[in-house]
Amino acid sequence: MNIAVIGCGYVGLVSGTCLAALGHQVTGVDVNTQRVAALQAGKVPIYEPGLSEMILQQTAARRLTFTTDLPAAVREAQVIFVAVGTPPSPNGGYDLSMLFGAVEKIIQSAQSSKTIVIKSTVPPGTGEKVAQLAAQSNHRLEVVNNPEFLREGTAIRDFMNPDRIVFGASTADGLAVLREIYQPLIDRGFNILSMGRASAELSKFGANAMLAMRISFINELSRLASAVGADIESVRMGIGSDPRIGPAFLKAGIGYGGSCFPKDVAALLHQMESLKIEPHLLAGVEKANQQQRQHFVGRVLEAVAGIKQPEIALWGLAFKPDTDDIRESPAVDIARLLATAGCKVRAFDPEAMDNTQRVLGSTISYTTDIISATTGADAVVVATDWPIFITQNWHTIKQVMRGTHIFDGRNCLASGKVGAAGLHYHAVGRPPISPGGGREGTVGVVVAG
Ligand SMILES: NC(=O)c1ccc[n+]([C@@H]2O[C@H](COP(=O)([O-])OP(=O)(O)OC[C@H]3O[C@@H](n4cnc5c(N)ncnc54)[C@H](O)[C@@H]3O)[C@@H](O)[C@H]2O)c1
């Protein structure tokens, strides 16, 4: 099938490349001329494991091309995926201007019947509004919804091996087009869930809000764990081994971030309030998320109190490992909070330095490796659980530091090894470990976690 994908960001690039790998003829379209020029030159503007190689394969096979010429791409295509950004708006809802801007151009450019697939995450009811606009065209423009559940860092694997593929359509024709596109994955036995457009839209929001809620729940519980001397990692296993609950998304830490959870929770709240539905549960999810990072920073500042201009090594800036995405990253907020409190922050992240520098500028300093960030530091703050941080030699870290405090904001380090190197280990919702100390029951938790 000939497909145009409008928007070459994390979702559009991954979806378009994977659709090409499934055998379709794909044209990626973006308004960002630099981005398109880079892609045409074989350079991939985002970091996503395996994506560069796959783009090169698909462009070499002439199944994938890039352009800024939306009208031409739309004219050629039978199906147009819309994967543009839907950022938060200042009032707490979604800013859908890019989506409707793209849709209007698609409608103006279409010279025959087409299917418009909304891939962007949109509030329930948006597909219907797009369909009303599309109905004004002289050509039949079917509008379907196909929300994307991929996760940055594992995006290609998620797209090619989905838990479920959600089809939202109001006609059998719309469903048939989606089935044809995804036939190679249907043949491999992956789950298709067909439903109405609003249900598909709400499924995406509901999934993200549920995951965010689990994180805020365990984070709230981690505060109680600290107060009563419990270890939240043991508690997580105690809770998560119930098959009705499961252990995923129950890891305490500095909270969630990224381009999806914060804005989806806010938009759901906004929509419920505008419909006079009281969002009792959701109202606390983002509040708890924000408090978690503030509380964590408070603990770091307490540990370095009394030092004139404390030096902090910040390990990690991306909102999670295996991405360069810093949108709503708790690590970036933590950098800001520490700098505002008078700390000298030296940061290192394997992929997210350039993006952070564009946002934070000279508020903090940037280093080329972990040791440069850590040399002379009074405390290390682990804000992203990149594997490279987990495998550090703690004796070396101890030697180059000025102080002895290690703050593990992701509960990802081997606490015993940190303590054995003569360092203070502070985690989230876990009893602290003093230099030379160990932790009772750690092995059981580590094995299960
Ligand atoms: N990033 C994720 O992990 C993820 C996962 C699932 C769903 N989503 C949703 O997918 C959508 C896209 O997210 P993203 O992270 O890929 O965004 P992004 O900001 O990385 O990419 C969006 C791209 O769209 C382009 N664009 C904007 N208007 C355009 C137009 N009129 N014509 C052509 N291109 C245009 C931008 O230049 C940009 O390159 C959002 O709705 C998001 O909520 C994101």
Residue 199 near residue 144, CB atoms below 8 Å: no
Taking CA 416 as the corner, what is the angle to CA 318 and CA 289, rounded to the nearest 5 degrees? 35
Q: How far is the CA of 87 from the centre of ligand 1 (A)?
A: 9
pTM: 0.93
SS3 355: helix
Among 215, 191, 220, smallest CA distance to 203 is for 191
Give yes or no: residues 282 and 142 share one domain.
no
Give yes or no: residues 159 and 236 share one domain.
no
Among 170, 85, 169, 72, smallest CA distance to 121 is for 85
Please tell me if the CB atom of residue 84 comes closer than 6 angstroms to any atom of ligand 1.
yes
Give yes or no: residues 269 and 163 share one domain.
no
* Domain count across the chain: 2
Question: Is residue 207 included in any domain, yes or no?
Answer: no
CATH code for the domain of 299? 3.40.50.720
Question: Is residue 36 included in any domain, yes or no?
Answer: yes
Give the chain's mean pLDDT.
Answer: 95
Question: Is residue 225 included in any domain, yes or no?
Answer: no
pLDDT at 43: 95
- Domain boundary among the residues 166, 195, 224 is at 195
Give yes or no: residues 190 and 236 share one domain.
no
Give yes or no: residues 294 and 397 share one domain.
yes
Q: What are phi and psi of 82, to 5 degrees?
A: -110, 115
Pocket mutation for ligand 1, best pick of 6, 8, 10 (most atoms within 8 Å of C-beta): 10
pLDDT at 145: 98
Give yes or no: residues 372 and 241 share one domain.
yes
Tens-digit pLDDT profile for residues 32-45: 999 999 999 999 99
- The whole domain housing 21 covers 2-195
Tens-digit pLDDT profile for residues 269-300: 999 999 999 999 999 999 999 999 999 999 99
Q: What share of the chain is helix, strand, coil (3-state, %, to 5)?
A: 45, 15, 40
Please tell me if the CB atom of residue 6 comes closer than 6 angstroms to any atom of ligand 1.
yes
Tens-digit pLDDT profile for residues 367-411: 999 999 999 999 999 999 999 999 999 999 999 999 999 999 999
Please tell me if the CB atom of residue 152 comes closer than 6 angstroms to any atom of ligand 1.
yes
Alpha-carbon distance of 4 to 119, in angstroms, equals 12
Alpha-carbon distance of 143 to 197, in angstroms, equals 9
